Structure 1
Amino acid sequence: MWNPEQLVALYKKAGAKFFVSMSLHHDNFFLPNSKLPRCNSVNISPHKDVFGVW
């Protein structure tokens, strides 16, 4: 149910002037595709570059 366009529209409607996404989760799970470490959103669920779709 990941829909970044809908989320950005919601943020804009709420009055946000900019958006910042983190690329590394607190437990060292990378949201972009990365060779190091292999624990990232492409190799493990959801099997897509979550950071890149923004």
Structure 2
Amino acid sequence: MEKGMAMGTVLAFMMSVTALSLPEMIILRKVLKPKLIAIFVGIIAVAIMMVGYLFNAII
């Protein structure tokens, strides 16, 4: 961040690393069907991007 990266970008990256990690997908595979995992990943990815854009717009 001190090198010039926008705060919203940092926030979105930090959230996506934990929410869309491979170990989480492996755990979810045992509970959900592949179609539901794809829907989950899509919704979470879009939501994280929106939070990043919104945070950049506010700050």
- Establish whether TM, by shorter chain, passes 0.5: no
Higher helix share: 2
Could you state the TM-score of these two structures normalised by the residue count of structure 2? 0.34
